[in-house]
Chain A
């Protein structure tokens, strides 16, 4: 009997004839579709741009006043209606809002991730939870806060629930992805020793997961801080976002806006330094 592997032969001679240039990839439909879409969008943009500019618009004047406002904000930051201490207080509110939502979100997401990783859960559950979470993620955080403000009224409650909601969906996805990346052999090894599922999760999965768990949670904290500011303005949830909104749209005091922007930048810098340190831990 001839085995299949013995039948394979390598052609010793290339077929002769006119030499064609060899393509590096096939012309695929996807690329054509993407290019066409981009072309259509570009055309629409070019056509509608002129209609968006109001008739009384004067470019030089607009640029001048823009430069003026930028100058006020960044070169002449000054407080008029509030004190620095009270601004620190509202900045603290925003930070705490981000912290609380990240904390609740990460705990809940951890359990959802356990139930939706291919390493532990049946495919149907994985698909079910992951698509549910994908739907939640598809709707922006600010929108969730507004949706929940129908239930709780505008304010901090709606902000906490709304931001947490989106955080859970986001973190479930990234936690489950990091669990999926674990080698199946590790879990198999634990099963081969007769370990119970709880012990496998605690002794094999969690130790391997801590670095990515920390860095993803931290990234979500940064996102939640930005969202907390936006939501403070949009849903009256308080915090520095609300103050920012009042100063810019109510008092038109750009000196004050400048101070707050600098405070937020300073905190963002602190976050950046922490995340750099976290990365160092991860790669040690």
Chain B
């Protein structure tokens, strides 16, 4: 589904932010990336949909390399990749349903984008998605009046409106209280289980990762230092991931 091979990235051409990162993500699974601050988690996520151009490697999404696509091909590929942000990044003056409907604009014409032309079916889908994330009564609220947890759920509904094959989440719960955290994480896990979407999440909360992830990838200093099922995430492994200057375990290196 999504396979990343030998991804390398340097922002300034000197210091390597990613060195040879490889992993894959499977449909119907929640994959969580953990690692210390500055390890390169955001860089990996944003390389996948090419918001930042990487330097080297291969990003196979449905067997096509995202790095080889031209502008319009990339735009079309992005239509099927949902993304969820720590700061929600909604259009605050617009209503929840308007924000959700943005999710389907990528596949529509210029005219539809300019005049907000949506079919009744699309509007129904948007309302259903808002219902799914528990915001049916807030469909016509301006997003600036929603709470953080509600905004994040609108963000999820917007991503779902794209009919995504994969959803990328960069610290989706970093600004949320514990209760909203559970709500949002439950929704994300539900998407993987019931809709067969691949969910890839950057997290700082190891306990949440343990509870929700099927698969955990540990990143340190731009390298993959852990890549295994969640059951294998022992306390020692966690210490290893967050260690300064951690190096890949021997056993792991042999796996590749």
Contact = CB atoms under 8 A, between A and B. Distances in A.
A265 interface: no
Contacts of A188: 51, 89
A192 B94 contact: no
Interface residues of A, number: 21
Interface of A: 3, 183, 185-186, 188-196, 198-199, 202-204, 207-208, 210
B69 to A, nearest CB: 12
A191 B244 CA distance: 35
A191 B51 contact: yes
Contacts of B113: 195-196, 198-199, 202-203
Given A198-B114, A199-B110, A193 B87 contact: no
A194 B76 contact: yes
Interface stretch (B98-106, B195-203, B223-231): B98-106
Contacts of B114: 198-199, 202
Contacts of A3: 244-245
B36 to A, nearest CB: 13
Contacts of A198: 110, 113-114
A194 B102 CA distance: 10
A193 B103 CA distance: 7
B107 A192 contact: no
Contact of A193 (B79, B93, B245): B79
A210 to B, nearest CB: 7
By secondary structure, the B interface counts as: mixed
A186 B89 contact: yes
A189 B51 CA distance: 9
Residue from A186, A188, A194, A210 with most neighbouring chain B CB atoms (10 Å)? A194
A210 B113 CA distance: 18
A112 B31 CA distance: 45
Given A198-B114, A202-B114, A203-B102, A192 B91 contact: no
A189 B85 contact: yes
A185 B87 contact: yes
B91 A208 contact: yes
Interface string B65-98: 0000000000111110111010101011110001
Nearest to B115: A202
Contacts of B91: 186, 203-204, 207-208
Nearest to A205: B91
A207 B94 contact: yes
Contact of A194 (B79, B112, B245): B79
A198 B109 CA distance: 10
Contacts of A195: 102, 105-106, 113
Nearest to B102: A203
B166 to A, nearest CB: 12
B116 interface: yes
Contact of B78 (A183, A191, A204): A191
Contacts of A193: 78-79, 82-83, 102-103, 105-106, 158, 162
Contact of B105 (A189, A192, A203): A203
B209 to A, nearest CB: 23
Given A192-B49, A194-B107, A199-B113, 14 more contacts: A3-B245, A185-B87, A185-B89, A186-B91, A188-B51, A188-B89, A193-B79, A193-B82, A196-B110, A199-B105, A199-B112, A199-B114, A207-B94, A210-B93
Interface in B218-256: 244-245
Nearest to B79: A194
A194 B78 contact: yes
A189 B106 contact: no
